[in-house]
Amino acid sequence: MPELARIRDIREKNGRQLFIVEFEEHIPDYRLKKISSDIEVSLHDGRGKSPAQNKIIHALIGEITREYMGSVTPLQKKIDAEDTKTAMKSMFCDLVGRSEFSVANATMSDATEFIEFLVNFCIENGVKLKNKELYKDFNIQHWVFCCLIHNKCAIDGTSKNVEKHHAANLVGMGRNRKKIDHLDSCFISLSAEYHQEVHNIGWERFKAKHHVDFVKLNAYWIKELKIK
């Protein structure tokens, strides 16, 4: 059973952090005797979401609403946006194992997690985004990662002829793919057109021109994406 507590002090001992906490309610002795020495602690972000995060959340909700609802009148758009928000919050809660989620009361960490969920949904489902640069700039690493796992071009969102570019430890140019350790490589998914462009002008110029970046993948995703 979860108990609310307040952190009163944090100390260092032998390279470890010691938390001194004060519980809001007295815990009876009979319960203390049953408590394991190993406990799970949830650290809550006390910062409220920022105005920028609020803007991005509602912009993404608007994009999804336009894609699926086809609202015409201002009133219908508002109603449809609320329906979309409710559906997205429900899907988000199912994914992260929460019983409820409030945009209005979201912490900064919660808002970031919800934005990343919405961005992933849009990329996975091919939602046409009018404010794509806004979402890319919020977390370009997350954007590129979502494009990689859903086989979408990180520049134009196409799913046709998409290739995975090694943005570091480049394959080709005399290097043997079979001897490359992909855990040392960085990747970005690009259409054939943009993949050719990055080879023509080089990664640094390409990165500056298109405002993108590469990401590192762990062993699970390298295997899952069949990178060879």
Confidence (pLDDT) at 2 = 60
Sequence-distant (≥ 6) Cβ neighbours of residue 166 within 8 angstroms: 180, 185, 186, 187
Q: Which residue has the tokens 């394959």?
A: 171
- In terms of Cα–Cα distance, which of 212, 73, 90, 223 is closest to 156? 212
**Is a pLDDT exceeding 70 seen at residue 162?**
yes
To 5 degrees, how large is the angle CA 48–CA 93–CA 159?
100
Cβ atoms < 10 Å from Cβ of 132:
17
**What mean pLDDT comes out for the span 12-33?**
75
How confident is residue 146, by pLDDT bands cut at 50, 70 and 90? very high
- List the domain boundaries for the chain: 51-138, 154-224
**For residue 56, with 0-12 CB atoms within 10 Å meaning exposed, 13-18 middle and 19 or more buried, which class applies?**
buried
Question: In this structure, what token pair is assigned to residue 125?
Answer: 């489902």
**Do 215 and 166 form a contact (C-beta atoms < 8 A)?**
no
Confidence (pLDDT) at 77 = 84
**What mean pLDDT comes out for the span 106-129?**
96
**What mean pLDDT comes out for the span 69-88?**
87
How confident is residue 193, by pLDDT bands cut at 50, 70 and 90? very high
**Is a pLDDT exceeding 90 seen at residue 23?**
no
**Do 55 and 70 form a contact (C-beta atoms < 8 A)?**
no
Greatest mean pLDDT among 151-160, 181-190, 213-222 lies in 151-160
Cβ atoms < 10 Å from Cβ of 144:
20
**For residue 200, with 0-12 CB atoms within 10 Å meaning exposed, 13-18 middle and 19 or more buried, which class applies?**
exposed
Distance CA 185, CA 165 (A): 10
How confident is residue 11, by pLDDT bands cut at 50, 70 and 90? confident
Distances (CA, A) of 22 to 10, 31, 131: 12, 16, 45
Distance CA 35, CA 29 (A): 10
**What mean pLDDT comes out for the span 111-127?**
97
**Is a pLDDT exceeding 50 seen at residue 182?**
no
Confidence (pLDDT) at 178 = 45
**What mean pLDDT comes out for the span 174-200?**
74
> DSSP secondary structure string, 117-159?
HHHHHHHHHT---TTHHHHHHH-HHHHHHHHHHTT--TTT---
- In terms of Cα–Cα distance, which of 35, 47, 57 is closest to 113? 57
**Is a pLDDT exceeding 50 seen at residue 172?**
no
